[in-house]
Amino acid sequence: MKKLTSWGKYPLINANIIIPTTRQHLAGLELTGIGRGLGRSYGDSALSEQVIVSENLNHFISFDEENGLLRCEAGVSLDNILTVFVPKGWFLSVTPGTKFVTIGGAIASDVHGKNHHLEGSFSDHVTSLTLVISDKEITCSRNNNPELFHATCGGMGLTGIITEATFKLKPIKSAYINQKIVKAKNLNTALELFEQYKDVTYSVAWIDCLSTGSNLGRSLLMLGEHADKGKLKTHKDGLLNMPCDMPSFLLNKYTIQAFNSAYYNKQLKEEVNSTIHYDPFFYPLDGINNWNRMYGGNGFTQYQFVIPKEAGKEGLTEILEAIAESKQGSFLAVLKVFGKGNQNLLSFPMEGYTLALDFKLNDKLFSLLDHLDIIVRKYDGRLYLSKDVRISEEMFKASYPQWEAFQTLRTEYGADELYHSLQSKRIGL
């Protein structure tokens, strides 16, 4: 038994940690519990009394240069892939905001990136994957065991342990990104800008979520395209390290307000264009190891929801007002427009707006988040399971209408008896 937690540092549990040495070994062990990659999910989706860690499943299997199809084991990280493939002129089709996630984690959470509106989520580029359920190895794809494929992509590890996958990389000419940052004085302008720049491959907005009134939703919109010129140079390791937990009083409404104002006002011009390496563009926080310690010993959580496009302006306004009123601001508030969702049963993205907010954990927080849940539900939205540590069974089942189909399939394969996380028990799976 060892102490185990995930990125939000809450909860901290005792768990039996199993690290199978090879894919073959894994199937032979007939393990139960939950699969785990690098523990970059914020909440309790990769926590259970027993976790099966993919650490040693870190090999590439093959690469088809003609089609950009990479086949590798599930414990390979995005970091590993970029290191090897950027110099060869290839990039991830979809990447989340940190490169320290595994392929297994990226598939199980069906992660999205800044290009969701044009290129979908990670699983949309997966052509095939192999899963171990008890001692059986099952390969699935859109044609072969399609139900299992669509349940596993976005299925939070609840259908079995993913051992390998094949997915498409995209060709690039340079490791650099042409970036444009545009200032938006409020939410309306931000949403208009998203519309105006909808053909740009990468887009995301950082929101100052403590500003109110006519400034509500003021933000910086960041846009990017792969550059044509520049070396195919991979990233370097992060140099900074957060050596210990920060005293938690350091993050309070005053410091957050100061930070947010400073960040927004850092850029004086309406629009700034530059060319930057992919590393700071996609992974601004990866440069500081253990930055989650900034939130102190009690940990933090991320509240990420999506609401349908029609509800957009009204819903976002209501939520931002509720947050501003609570004065429980967040350092990081990120707004993004999602394109159409996919067929995966529990995948998070749907066409609309998604906002991700980091909050330090404290006594008052959960009641604020419960209040936000009510608003999200009112607008037919839902929360991202990969960031969640607290939603109720009722909230989950109301907002993920395909949960029943998912559970039926799990029963069919016997996975419901074998795979559980703290989260799955809480939300009734």
Ligand X SMILES: Cc1cc2nc3c(=O)[nH]c(=O)nc-3n(C[C@H](O)[C@H](O)[C@H](O)COP(=O)(O)OP(=O)(O)OC[C@H]3O[C@@H](n4cnc5c(N)ncnc54)[C@H](O)[C@@H]3O)c2cc1C
Place of tokens 């990447």: 95
Tell me how far the alpha carbon of residue 53 is from its chain's centroid: 19
Distance (Å, rounded) from C-alpha 134 to C-alpha 150?
19
Nearest-approach distance from CB 90 to other proteins, in angstroms: 11
Nearest to ligand X of 63, 348 (CB atom): 348
Regarding beta strands 240-241 and 288-289, do their DSSP bridges make them parallel or antiparallel, or are they unpaired? parallel
To the nearest whole angstrom, how small is the minimum distance from the Cβ of residue 35 to ligand X? 3
Whether 74 and 47 have beta carbons less than 8 Å apart is answered as no
Cβ distance to ligand X smaller for residue 135 or 314: 135
Q: What does 420 bind: other proteins, ligand X, none (CB cut-off 5 to 8 Å by kind)?
A: none
Which lies closer to ligand X via its Cβ, residue 311 or residue 429?
A: 429
In the complex, the smallest distance separating the C-beta of residue 190 from other proteins, rounded to whole angstroms, is: 41
Residue 8 interacting entry, from other proteins, ligand X, none, C-beta within 5 to 8 Å by type? none
- Shortest CB 267 distance to ligand X, Å: 22
Tell me the closest approach of the beta carbon of residue 245 to other proteins, in angstroms. 17
CA pair distance 143, 343, nearest whole angstrom: 13
Contact 382, 348 (CB under 8 A): yes
Length of the chain equals: 429
Q: Which is nearer to other proteins, 23 or 420 (CB)?
A: 23
**Least spacing, CB of residue 103 vs ligand X, in Å:** 8
Q: Which is nearer to other proteins, 2 or 269 (CB)?
A: 2
Burial level of 343, CB count in 10 A (0-12/13-18/19+)?
A: middle
**312: helix, coil or strand?**
helix
CB within 8 Å of 118: residues ≥ 6 apart? 199, 201, 339
Which residues would be at the binding site for other proteins (CB under 8 A)? 19, 21-24, 56, 59-63, 70, 72, 84, 88
What distance in Å separates the CA atoms of residue 405 and residue 429, rounded to the nearest whole number? 11
Query: What residues line the site for ligand X (CB under 6 A)?
Result: 6-7, 34-41, 45-46, 54, 74, 96-98, 101-102, 104-106, 108-109, 111-113, 156-157, 161-162, 285, 386, 421
User: Helices (DSSP H) in 101-225: which residue ranges?
Assistant: 103-108, 116-119, 146-152, 187-196
Q: Which amino acid appears at position 257 of this protein?
A: Q
The partner in contact with residue 84, picked from other proteins, ligand X, none with C-beta cut-offs of 5 to 8 angstroms by kind, is other proteins
Q: How far is the CB of 301 from other proteins (least distance, A)?
A: 27
Q: Which is nearer to other proteins, 61 or 118 (CB)?
A: 61
Q: Binding partner of residue 36 among other proteins, ligand X, none, CB under 5 to 8 Å per kind? A: ligand X
Name the residue nearer to ligand X (CB basis): 39 or 352: 39
Taking each helix axis as running N to C, give the angle between helix 312-326 and helix 365-378, from 0 to 180 degrees, rounded to the nearest 10.
170
Of 412, 240, 298, whose CA–CA distance to 12 is shortest? 298
